[in-house]
Structure 1
Amino acid sequence: MAPWWAECSKEAYATGLDRLATSLKNWQNSKKGKRKGPQMGFPRFKTKAKAVPSVQFTTGAIRLEESRKHVTLPVLGTVKAYESTRKLHGRIMNGTAVLKSATVRREAGRWFVSFTVEVEQAERPPARPDAVIGVDLGIKTLSVFSDGRPPAENPKHYDSARRKLGRLCRGVSRKQGPDRRAGRQPSNR
């Protein structure tokens, strides 16, 4: 094995291989017609100069410190955060959030870390269940309500804008504008 292998986190190698596998799968699905959108080409090697360097940590010591100004990541150690992590730290301590992964990337000469968090949110019943209605949005009418109210009429912005544009185009077609190449002066209208 290479002697430099242990200097980096295993996640650095796994991230690159995972992205390669995803791009190869996208290329294969695009070639077979299983993938929507434009045809994808075979993945090409990205140079360090043009690509955004990033790594995603999914295992190891990923945690927010008690000071709420520091983040601990595998291999990198404890790093000072620019913004406070108070809200996220509070949710993790309450047990309503779980850190899934941390992505470190370099953008515009600075290093950023972003977290993927699974947040537990309780479903709240509506405060006034009798006030809940269904709304159906449409084209001919803007909205139809389930409680029997009259439907909201469509304001027809497109039709009014089309009429206004036609009126302005007719006015411009009757005018002669200034033309520096021909030396023509603008009309008096």
Structure 2
Amino acid sequence: MARGVAAFSHIAVSVSNLDQAVDFYCSGLGFGPGVEYSAAGCEVAAIMGVPRTGFRGIFLRLGVTLLELLEYREALPKSARTRDPREVGYAHISLIVPDMHEAVDNALRHGGAFCAQLDHAFGGGQKTTIAFLRDPDGNRIELIFHPNSEETRAHSNFLGIGAIRWPTDVV
């Protein structure tokens, strides 16, 4: 790695129930689990800006991506309102799936909630399917199904990311 250049490490998501979230992301979306850990104390509180009581956590893997789930011992309550995706901050996690119906069904069976779906041809002939779900804590998950490599390339070019090789790990 060149000096001063970062490498991607992981994404962390705060959850209300670690066991429920692990079930959703692993059984519902196909992530592989790591080993649960706990962290607490003055140093954790200082670096993360949380109470000293800390949290339970676990890293999950899907392809080259790591997702860290954190269940804080003194978690703030979830907002009663649904978070607007236009709010500054985390908007959604996006996953490419080999079978949209199976992916949605699995996610719903494991605590997810369906939001919306769009079928759109980006120029590759057949239509790409994009669905949005919410995990058990209301975090938005985007699922993308490309019917063929031509449509994958067309979608990638539409997003302006064809030159940076997206998607990097097509299922």
TM > 0.5 fold call: no
Q: TM-score, normalised by structure 2?
A: 0.25
Pick the structure with greater CA Rg: 1
Q: TM-score, normalised by structure 1?
A: 0.24
Q: Which has the higher helix share?
A: 1
Q: Which has the higher strand share?
A: 2
